[in-house]
Amino acid sequence: MIDVDKWKEIINTLKSNKVRTFFTAFGVFWGIFMLIIMLGSGNGLQNAIYQNMGDFATNSCFMWTQQTSVAYKGFPRGRSYRFNNGDTKALLEKIPELKDLSPRLQGRGGDGSNNAVRGRKTGAFTIFGDYPAWNRIDPIKITSGRFINELDIKNNRKVVVIGKRVVEVLFEPEENPLEQYIKISGVYFKVVGVFKSKKGGQQAEREEQNVHMPFTTLQRIYNFGEDVGWYAMTASEEIPVGIVEEKAKEILKRRHSIAPDDERAVGGFNVSKEFKKMRGLFAGINGLIWIVGIGTLLAGVIGVSNIMLVIVKERTKEIGIQRAIGATPANIILQIINEAVFLTSIAGAIGLVCGFWLIELINFILESSNSSAEMFKNPEVDFSIAISALIILIFAGIFAGLIPAKRAVSIKPIDALRTE
């Protein structure tokens, strides 16, 4: 049963010096309040970065050509070369760990000069030649129609998939762009799909100005012959993309007579490696937040312990009377610990609520203003983590009360009764 008199005594003790109790509780309140705010801010940063990646395949890598840095087989250093369709076939045949391979080319234009026309409307967009695999490596959301397919590649079809912004520029607001034609670099293309980006912020705005056409069609339209601009590739499940990357570089160097030890001739970007670095960075940030937050909480708990020592000293005679009339040391210890836990729990709960309220307020303001901030998105704190922090705080309150409690029971009843 709940001892009402005991809790009334605890409340009256804390109310006897309101200023002292307030500032002691404020230390605990501020500790858990700042922990929640820092955790929410860290998650806001993490959410923004991950949203900017969309559904990008993290077990992927990219490769492009660069000038050679080592003379080899009679070729001088500084030689330029290009990937080609034969490289694509060789990579597909000789790398069993390869899951998706997408050669890519970028058409001319998109640098501010208009390269797409429909009737009297014109626009400057980025033109890409792609394989169907590209939409598995860096997915976009098809809102109507479809993406490039294998028949488009095989038959060099003059079809395009256009972004949301392209539709806004070249078509009327209520007009359906599917099956309509737009002219790109003097050639008419049928619109077979419309998409919007899965990413956020300016990255989404840039992606929605893209036009995708079959890779083989772009090669012919822009007279690229069999050239390939660069490759995107992913590894099979449970296979590190680094293995695919090394095999691909070895094959490409051999096919283009590049020295095996030339580290600069084939440029590359390993998304998996960078993603692991990013996860490590966020883990470090979260660890730092917990260290700072727990440190601040401990400072507040130490304040509670100190104030309880003062309270014990002020109540020495009262404790002596309790001991004299039969109170056991366990009763005294429990009473002091109850006071410490009550103070830390109330202050911690208020800090927890205020922290969550402020995080939700920030989130509401960001959503209401339609903010497109690329570095901060949807700050949030897992409720279970917050409750765990509060439980830790309660145990810290027990620890804070132990020292004053031991001090209280260490005084002999006769000495306590003599205290003025």
Distance CA 252, CA 147 (A): 29
pLDDT of residue 371: 55
Q: What is the pLDDT of residue 191?
A: 95
Q: What is the mean pLDDT of each run of 10 residues along the chain (420 residues)?
A: 57 66 77 82 75 74 93 90 95 93 84 78 92 93 94 95 94 91 92 90 85 95 92 91 93 94 91 83 82 77 71 63 64 72 81 85 74 62 74 75 66 54
Half-sphere exposure of 419 (CA within 13 A, CB side): 17
Distance, in Å, from the CA atom of 318 to the CA atom of 77, rounded to the nearest integer, reads 91
The predicted pLDDT at position 322 comes to 64
340-341-346-350 Cα dihedral, nearest 10 degrees: 100
Q: Are 122 and 182 in contact (CB under 8 A)?
A: no
**pTM strictly above 0.85:** no
Count of other CB atoms within 10 angstroms of residue 339: 27
**H or E segment to which residue 190 belongs:** strand 187-196
| pLDDT computed for residue 1 by the predictor | 41
Start-to-end CA span in the chain (Å): 35
What DSSP letter does each residue of 78-135 carry, written as one string? T----EEHHHHHHHHHH-TTEEEEEEEEE-S--SSS--EEETTEEE--EEEEE-TTHH
Whole-number Å distance between alpha carbons of 210 and 218: 14
Distance, in Å, from the CA atom of 91 to the CA atom of 247, rounded to the nearest integer, reads 9
- The CA distance from 152 to 192, in Å, is 11
Question: If 0-12 CB within 10 Å is exposed, 13-18 middle and 19+ buried, where does residue 266 land?
Answer: buried
* The pair of three-digit structure tokens given for residue 266, joined into one six-digit string: 């084939």
Number of Cβ within 10 Å of residue 176's Cβ equals: 13
**Rounded CA gap, 308 and 303, in Å?**
9
Residue 324: what are its φ and ψ, rounded to 5°? -70, -30
Q: In angstroms, rounded to a whole number, what is the distance separating the alpha carbons of residues 197 and 372?
A: 14
Q: Where do runs of H (alpha helix) occur along 315-381?
A: 316-324, 329-368
H runs (alpha helix) in 256-328: 271-314, 316-324
User: Rounded to an integer, what distance in angstroms lies between the CA atom of residue 137 and that of residue 82?
Assistant: 22
Collapsing DSSP states into helix, strand and coil, what is residue 150?
helix
Rounded to whole angstroms, the Cα distance separating 148 from 161 reads 7
> How many alpha carbons lie under 13 Å from residue 275 in its C-beta half-sphere?
17
Q: How far, in Å, CA of 193 to CA of 145, rounded?
A: 4
The torsion angle over the Cα atoms of residues 349, 355, 361 and 363, rounded to 10 degrees, is -120
Rounded to 5°, the CA angle 74-80-86 comes to: 90
β-sheet bridge partners, residue 165: none
For 108, other C-beta atoms within 10 Å of its C-beta total 11
- Encoded tokens for 169: 């520029």
CB 194 within 8 A of CB 162: yes
pLDDT of residue 376: 64
One-letter amino acid at 34 equals M
* Residue 144 pLDDT: 94
Name which of 146, 168, 144 is nearest 159 in CA terms: 146
